[in-house]
A and B are shown apart, each in its own frame.
Chain A
Amino acid sequence: MTSHILSLILFTPLAGAFLLLLVDKKNENAIRWIANIVALIGFAVSIPLWFWYNPQSSVFQFVERAPWIPSIGAEYFLGVDGFSMLLILLTTMMGFIAVLSSWTAITERVKEYYIFLLLLQTGMLGAFMSLDFLLFFLFWEVMLVPMYFLIGIWGSDNRLYSAIKFFLYTLVGSVVMLLGILALYFAYHADPANGGIYTFDITRFHRYAFAPGLQWWVFLAFFLGFAIKVPMFPFHTWLPDAHTDAPTAGSVILAAVLLKMGTYGFLRFSLPILPEASRQFVPMIVVLSIIGIVYGALVALAQKDWKRLVAYSSVSHMGLVMLGMFALNPVGITGSIIQQLNHGISTGALFLIVGIVYERRHTREISEYGGLSKVMPVYAAIFLIMTMSSIGLPTLNGFIGELMILQGVFVANKIWAAFAASGIVLGAAYMLNLYQKTMFGKIENPKNERLLDLSHREFATFAPLLVLAVWMGLYPAPFLRRLETSVDHVIARVSPQYATKNLADCGTLLPAASAGAAPTAPLPDVVAQNPAAKFLASVPCDANGKPLSTSSGQAPASSGTGTDIPPPADKKPGDPQ
């Protein structure tokens, strides 16, 4: 497969940014149109990934490789698995939504604004696609500057402080991470078994067992880089400031995509490359995550600023994502990924929602609002759906993610699960409280009496998010199916006991999941349940040694089961197929 679709996706926004450079800055509407069209094209060219991605193949797909700095072994090496594919789709979609949402919100320095948004887009996409560690780091750092400007130029009152805080916090984490990368690079070279080559190829690192002592230190270095980005509890203080002062589109991108960089980093690098250290650090991560969940929720409960409230809810939700991930079992990690997508969708939407009233009233004080559902019924309805999505109401996307995370955490440790559940309850409290204060009751503030409901353009920014929220809530199977091999890949490294047991005991359930994907239109409920059943079954199966779920255990045992999870040594993900 020698397609260049990843490069196409990666450089479309960059090309758009260069195109914008050529447009006269006074011609603001032309700039807006070009930016929107480029962002839409960027989204459109990424959609084929969803269809072309082969869920049965466990290797990285759409691989592109070219020498970059041969003397040090760095390559231009792109490729995606199910996890990064979904994050890329999330990025291109949220990128388009962010551009679309800025049409009237940004009235000054329009040209630069869109250029920075598109540059940011390329940085994020590159980080998700890179399979070369140096290339990844390059894109990772490239994101800082446009985001700094987005906050610093188009932000609200305290923007300079927030922008530099965001910049320096992230920078400190990432430079330390760079040292970790270098330590792995030299350690890999030092082992004669590797043939003395220098490489930043992470698929090679995924197959190599680094010395435990080195893993410990490198994990700490990576932890600093990723935990600041997530952000985890003691490193979260930049987030409320950055969110509060960023323009709406900046907040949307920050919440929906940039925070995922941290969790993506843990899942792509820390867990599979440093499995032993990851297991050692579980207690620390879990404690920090739980503090994040509860503390974030409690602080959110006390906020008077609408946007700050949503920002703290992010801290809480991302804590949940981290907790699910470090349950280190398949269902927990799957839930964690699903919840990352959910958080992108629902928190992204919540920031858009704040942005809409902020654009009309120029205040984010919750007490300034009240009874908005009377004047803005469509707006209120969308806000309601997104609130429900955020607190995990069944039939909406949030429920699936939270359920799977709780399941995974419960298997790992029941006490952790109790804390996680308390975070969800508190989440309902602050979100419903917010909704009630702003949407219900009488309009007491005369300034709110003549607020306009959503325009068509504004509604269009929510439409894809609403569709996704319902789709993922009712029928998450296509998502889960695309995640299987990614999760198995991580699990095989970090919790091999699950992988082997899966093969031995629950193998019959695996092909069922694959069979569900066959294009022969099977019964809808089978399609719907089988992939989920695999994950639901895999937990007790792994924990107790036998499958628990029997709801649809009628799957035909086609041969070649479990080829999805070969032992790590057999994989050759780097090879172009």
Chain B
Amino acid sequence: MPAGVSLRDFYYLLPELVLTGGALLVLIADVLLPRRSGHALAWITLLVLAATLASLGTFSGTHEVAHGLIAVDEFALFFKVVFLVSAAVTVLMSVRYLEIEGASPGEYYFLILCATLGMMILAGGIDLITIFIGLETMAVSFYILVGFIKPNQKSNEAAVKYFLLGAFSLGILLYGMSLLYGLSGTTNLRVMAPVFFGPETRHDPRLILAVMLVVAGVGFKIAAVPFHMWAPDVYEGAPTPVTAFLSVGSKAASFAMILRIFLEGLPAMVHDWQILFEALAIVTMTVGNLAALTQTNLKRMLAYSSIAHAGYILIGLVAGTPRGVSAMLIYLFIYTFMQLGAFTVIVLMRRRDVVGDELKDFSGLHFRHPYAAFAMLLFMLSLGGIPPTAGFMGKFWLFSAAIDAHYYWLAVIGVLNSAVSLYYYIRLVVFMYLKKDATGSEPSTTPALTVALAIAVVATIYIGIYPRVLFEIAEASARTLGVVGITAALP
């Protein structure tokens, strides 16, 4: 049982420590700096994120830290990069948004960093306790961030909704986790895995109940249907940069958690959870896309589309092969950029008197701001999976994982869904390019927003044309999860 924690452990936790210290630094700076110094705080936050990113490179290889509480491996590294990049883009998006809303930037950036910290812990967590701590750190930060615009009723409503449903789902998840602990006698996923391979526990109805509870709990986090009801309201009500971060970072972190729990901890129950996730994937894709068809508010539309994307990503999990896992990583990475990019354009549209998230606000955008319209076109095509954008490469590899694992019908449903989704993505393009009325709102750019947009555009095109590097890294990262051995152990 855990003895003392050595210095080595702290060494491997350097990125998390840097991030924690940085978050505190932001809080202190907020007090010391004069009011209305949002830019300086944003710079500090970006520097903290950059330092964390740099500290990720100080060690390599696969390690278990603090007696198996946290794993430091390429899988975690991959996700940590995703979180840090999306946090950085979120900060870039937030500067002007906070000025317009008149919100205090100090706490905001602090919470962004806290949420990032939670995600990083989640990605490395191989113990139910660590996972729970990471999840809570992330979730609590988001509860506050969602309601950060205090005078805005929608924002408040969203926060309350998110908090109540989040707490409820967390209860379900915890219940499942406690059953797992009770049945296996350990909270460590890697110790737990072999226990469940025993013939007497494998068919224990309590274990099946535990799996179902955990699936429901994590289903809420990724907004899988039927646990998705919170998503559209929260996405619409939250400040746009928070929505972006929520839909990207929180989703990626939850998928990292799912992969850890099910592939590292519950490989024995693969046939049970595969069926559950298969059903979830089908329903999530279909319901998400069908509901998105009728939305006129862009943030709501992107909320439903993000639900649908969770469904696509689940396909990789259902496949359960190394290829499936690497496809999930690739898709999450790509999704980060296209989703953040789309939200950046929405932030561009925000003016003092216009929210800028209705379809009609985008009417004729091409004539007012061709670059913003082009960027949005690119993100919509990418979300829809049209080459030569990154979204195509991601979808292509997800569906190929399904075919490889002989889930043909899942792949067919997936591609048909992606065809349906093009309808609502293209509808925005119609508004931007084909309608000439100048009723829409005028976008205004700042250097920070331009940089955020440029990062997203370049990533979306580059990965779409030349995905080689990403594919190789994702495959290497997926291998460290130990899926290979797990699938081989099963008949």
Contacts and interface: CB of A to CB of B under 8 A. Distances in A.
Interface stretch (B294-302, B416-424, B453-461): B416-424
Contacts of B411: 179, 182
Interface in B397-446: 397, 399-400, 403-404, 408, 411-412, 415-416, 418-419, 422-423, 426, 430, 433-434
Nearest to A70: B468
Nearest to A140: B387
A176 B419 CA distance: 10
A183 B408 CA distance: 9
B419 A172 contact: yes
A334 to B, nearest CB: 33
Contact of B471 (A67, A72, A149, A153): A72
Contacts of B412: 176, 179
A179 B412 CA distance: 7
Given A71-B468, A145-B381, A164-B423, A179 B415 contact: yes
B388 A149 contact: no
A171 B387 CA distance: 12
A141 B387 CA distance: 6
Contact of B419 (A142, A175, A182): A175
Contacts of A69: 466-468, 471
B423 A179 contact: no
Given A145-B381, A153-B433, A160-B430, A185 B400 contact: yes
A8 interface: no
Nearest to A67: B468
Contact of B423 (A67, A141, A168): A168
Which residue among B386, B397, B399 has the maximum number of chain A CB atoms within 10 Å of its CB?
Answer: B386
B388 A178 contact: no
A488 to B, nearest CB: 33
Given A138-B392, A167-B422, A182-B399, A68 B468 contact: yes
Interface residues of A, number: 31
Contacts of B381: 145
B293 to A, nearest CB: 12
Given A71-B475, A141-B387, A152-B433, A186 B468 contact: no
A172 B386 contact: no
B386 A160 contact: no
A226 interface: no
A148 interface: yes
B197 interface: no
A41 interface: no
Task: Give the interface SS of chain B, mostly helix, strand, loop or mixed.
Answer: helix
B9 interface: no
B396 A68 contact: no
Contacts, number: 77
A203 B291 CA distance: 43
Interface in B443-491: 466-468, 471-472, 475
Contacts of A71: 468, 471-472, 475
Interface residues of B, number: 31
Contacts of B399: 178-179, 182
B165 to A, nearest CB: 34
Contacts of B397: 72
Interface string A152-187: 110000001000100110011001101100110110
Which residue among A70, A138, A142, A171 has the maximum number of chain B CB atoms within 10 Å of its CB?
Answer: A171
Contacts of A68: 466, 468
Interface string A62-95: 0000011111100000000000000000000000
B415 A142 contact: no
B396 A178 contact: yes
A547 B92 CA distance: 77
Contacts of A153: 433-434
Contacts of B426: 148, 164, 167
B407 to A, nearest CB: 11
Contact of A182 (B385, B400, B418, B423): B400
Contacts of B388: 138, 142
A183 B403 contact: yes
Contacts of B423: 164, 168
A419 interface: no
Interface string A126-150: 0000000010011001101100110
Given A175-B415, A179-B403, A144 B386 contact: yes
A72 B400 CA distance: 11
A175 B434 contact: no
A186 B419 contact: no
Which residue among A152, A164, A179 has the maximum number of chain B CB atoms within 10 Å of its CB?
Answer: A179
Contacts of B400: 182, 185-186
A160 B426 CA distance: 11
Contacts of B408: 179, 183
A162 to B, nearest CB: 12
A171 B399 CA distance: 16
Contacts of A172: 416, 419
B430 A182 contact: no
A69 B434 CA distance: 36
Nearest to A72: B471
Contact of A141 (B392, B404, B468): B392
Nearest to A189: B404
Nearest to A185: B400
B102 to A, nearest CB: 38
Interface string B376-396: 000001000111100010001
Contacts of A142: 386-388
A117 B387 CA distance: 17
A435 B438 CA distance: 44
Interface string A501-545: 000000000000000000000000000000000000000000000
A138 B387 contact: yes
Contacts of A182: 399-400, 403-404, 411
A164 B475 CA distance: 37
B430 A152 contact: yes
Contacts of B416: 172, 175-176
Given A168-B419, A176-B412, 7 more contacts: A69-B467, A72-B471, A138-B388, A142-B388, A171-B422, A178-B415, A186-B404
Interface of B: 381, 385-388, 392, 396-397, 399-400, 403-404, 408, 411-412, 415-416, 418-419, 422-423, 426, 430, 433-434, 466-468, 471-472, 475
A-B pairs with the 4 shortest C-beta distances? A175-B415, A138-B387, A182-B403, A172-B419
30 contacts: A68-B468, A69-B467, A69-B471, A71-B471, A71-B472, A71-B475, A72-B471, A141-B387, A142-B386, A153-B433, A153-B434, A164-B423, A164-B430, A168-B419, A171-B422, A172-B419, A175-B385, A175-B416, A175-B418, A176-B415, A178-B396, A178-B415, A179-B408, A179-B411, A179-B415, A182-B399, A182-B404, A183-B403, A183-B408, A186-B400
